[in-house]
Structure 1
Amino acid sequence: MSDIAKQIQQPKESWLDKLARSLGLASRQDVAMHPFRVIVDKEISDLVRSWRFKILIGIIVLTCVGSLYTALTNIGHAVKPGDPGNAFFFLKLFTISDGTLPSFFVFISFLGPLLGISLGFDAINSEQNKGTLSRVMAQPIHRDYLINAKFMASITVISVMFFALGFLVMGLGLVIIGIPPTPEEFLRIVFFIVLSIFYVALWLNLSILFSVKFRQAATSALAGISVWLFFSIFYNLIVKLIARATMPPEMAPERYIVAHRNFILDLLRLSPSQLFSEATTTLLMPSVRSLGPLTMEQVHGTIPSPLPLGQSLLLVWPQLTAIIAITVVCFALSYVFFMRKEIRSR
């Protein structure tokens, strides 16, 4: 059979095959039929195979193992006779520190923003600079599929990694100390992992927003890191200066002192790291009964017992709502800016 006849009998390439080929995939048979799934699978593959993800996951795993080793070597000293927190022995694996290495949840609060920023700072501008953005958008697919797939792929990778690390800590702790977690402890750890995913998603959406607004990937990365450094270091210094300048006199009534402390605490809660720290501390330390200053009348007569899971969730509900709200706002802004963005290469 001649070459011309072969070409005539060869089936015409569909637009979905062209989309898969433009994304670096062999054909649509290698992926799901829906174009959104095609882009999500491609983005997950690129993230997992990238060197930056391998370096970050290596750092996070090493710090996780280091914090777990510190917790296991000092868990005997953390158990005190008569302490109501001894009922939640397994949670101490995530909170104990001897001062040489921070605890597990402190590492997550420090490295989580870096993970989110690194996965999203070049989500859009790198595609535009390489010319692949206009090529993908030339296919008959919805424009919002791309940015939604970018977020879905990154949050999927983050969720799998965080659940794997959390269950790794629980598994190693179970094997070494030989004490299984209670159902309430297990649920507290699961809620802590979910909260950590939302916290990293906040920084992921912020970095995607900078990736949409700035054309250069280096500029968007520096913008994300600058915001993280401001809220991690400089914002606390600014709040301390405000607290010192507005401090009431020593002989002031108690209500003025409590009001001043609430004012400073409200300023601190404008920082996402403060919200995450308060929420994780309450979830992993059931002995925490309040997140604000208490008067002597409120403390007098209280029984020093740990809070049940439902009460702890009610206590951290404002912090969790604030983190989710900031995440949604950042994603909405990046979505709107991307839908109005000029995607043609210059």
Structure 2
Amino acid sequence: MARKEFSDHLRSRNFLLITAILLLICTVGLVGGITDYQKSLNSYNEDLTAAGSDIEVQGFMPERPSVLSVFTSVGSQLIILGAILGIALGFDLITKEKESKSLKLLLSHPIYRDEVINGKALGSAAALLLPLGAVLAIALALLLVIGIVPDLTEFVLVLAFGGVTALMILTYFGVALLMSTIAGNSGTALIYSIIVFVIFAVLVPVAMNDTVMSTVVGEPPEFPAQLISRSQASSGAEASRSSFSIDTESEVWQQYREAIREYGERRSAVNDVVKLFSPSLNYEAILGVSGGASKSVTVTAGGGGGSFVGMTSMDPVSGASGAVKNVVALIAFTVTFFGLAYFRFMRLDIR
């Protein structure tokens, strides 16, 4: 059953067309990512040469760019294209059999229902992983052509990137497969699948915008008015508000810094919880961690006309724990949708 489903997909014009589009767009993204990587690498080499033997004295060590940035550059494209590919292969997997009456004929043979649903799921999953493997192979080939050889650690990270991307694509395939078992026809299953995708990729991220976050965690702390007045007084009546100095040793400033830190942690915690409810956001979070992203919160000083940004760099331990959390969430999504599709098909009334 799995072999038949896999071969059917490889002969499908729709699958071949979507795969060709995905490979074309991803290849263009990879070329752009390689170009950016080479620029970053040249900059790194120039900084290293300019620092010379004074690196240890100055305590400055430029950070070498990672080959993984080439792959994460196409991550945002794969969120949309991967979801489209997964939905395209899953939305009519069961409904087309019901519409053509072939499902009833198939089950009249000495074959168990679980063999049908498992075979179809495995065959389609294998077909989904084929273009993803092609994207990774093309990327590695382009890197080798221009003389960039990933080391062992980078190669492992590339494989991890492929595994996480596969989980994200299989999640949306599981959504489409579930809708195919629920809906009465392929058109309805496609609509249901798109609605779920819009909820995950559009509506859930809306919960992370400034308006909603301000409602949930409250407004950010205002900059103390006394510090503004002192700074203006010390710099002159005609001094620009954007160029005042602050006494960082004062108790009021320290209390403000602590309030900003606590507010940033609360906002970050709510963001992390919201991300767990969307496969797309979990995927983006994993790519952000692997790329060394940092979390930031911008707070506008009330009445001062200036902005203060508190940056909290993500250390390796917290970054790894965050990645594990998001990977587990992706696995949970995939298993849940496949499990629901399995149980729905096993109880399906076929007449």
TM-score range, shorter chain: 0.7 to 0.9
What code does the residue aligned with 2:64 have?
A: N
The alpha carbon displacement at 1:171 in A equals 0.9
Asked whether the 8 Å contact 2:90–2:174 carries over to 1, the reply is yes
Q: CA, structure 1 residues 74+291, in 2 after alignment: closer, same or farther (shift >3 Å)? A: closer
Q: CA, structure 1 residues 279+261, in 2 after alignment: closer, same or farther (shift >3 Å)? A: closer
Q: Which of 181, 191, 206 lines up with 1:237 in the alignment?
A: 206
In the alignment, does 2:18 pair up with 1:53? no
The alpha carbon displacement at 1:234 in A equals 2.7
Q: CA, structure 1 residues 337+292, in 2 after alignment: closer, same or farther (shift >3 Å)? A: farther
Asked whether the 8 Å contact 2:27–2:138 carries over to 1, the reply is no
For 2:170 and 2:63, the matched residues in 1 are separated by 31
Q: Which of 152, 163, 166 lines up with 2:136 in the alignment?
A: 166
The alpha carbon displacement at 1:222 in A equals 0.9
Asked whether the 8 Å contact 1:206–1:224 carries over to 2, the reply is yes
Alignment gaps of 5+ in structure 2: 48-60, 223-255, 298-309
- Scaled by the length of structure 2, what TM-score is found? 0.74
Q: Which of 22, 39, 42 lines up with 2:4 in the alignment?
A: 42
For 1:113 and 1:210, the matched residues in 2 are separated by 14
For 1:278 and 1:84, the matched residues in 2 are separated by 25
Aligned to 1:203: 172
Q: Which of 35, 56, 68 lines up with 2:30 in the alignment?
A: 68
Aligned to 2:243: none
Aligned to 1:187: 156
The alpha carbon displacement at 1:113 in A equals 0.9
Q: Which of 335, 338, 341 lines up with 1:331 in the alignment?
A: 338
For 1:339 and 1:40, the matched residues in 2 are separated by 18
- Scaled by the length of structure 1, what TM-score is found? 0.75
Q: CA, structure 1 residues 179+341, in 2 after alignment: closer, same or farther (shift >3 Å)? A: same
Alignment gaps of 5+ in structure 1: 1-38, 96-102
Name the SS of the counterpart of 2:348 in structure 1: coil
The alpha carbon displacement at 1:226 in A equals 1.4
| Higher-Rg member (1/2) | 2
In the alignment, does 2:221 pair up with 1:250? yes
Q: How many residues align?
A: 285
For 2:264 and 2:70, the matched residues in 1 are separated by 36
Aligned to 2:97: 127
RMSD: 2.5
What code does the residue aligned with 1:211 have?
A: S
What code does the residue aligned with 2:205 have?
A: N
Query: What is the identity percentage for the equivalent residue pairs of Structure 1 and Structure 2?
Result: 26
Segments of 4+ moved more than 6 angstroms: 290-293
The alpha carbon displacement at 1:84 in A equals 5.0
Deviates more, 1:43-52 or 1:258-267: 258-267
What code does the residue aligned with 1:124 have?
A: I
In the alignment, does 2:182 pair up with 1:213? yes
What code does the residue aligned with 1:207 have?
A: A
For 1:292 and 1:197, the matched residues in 2 are separated by 29
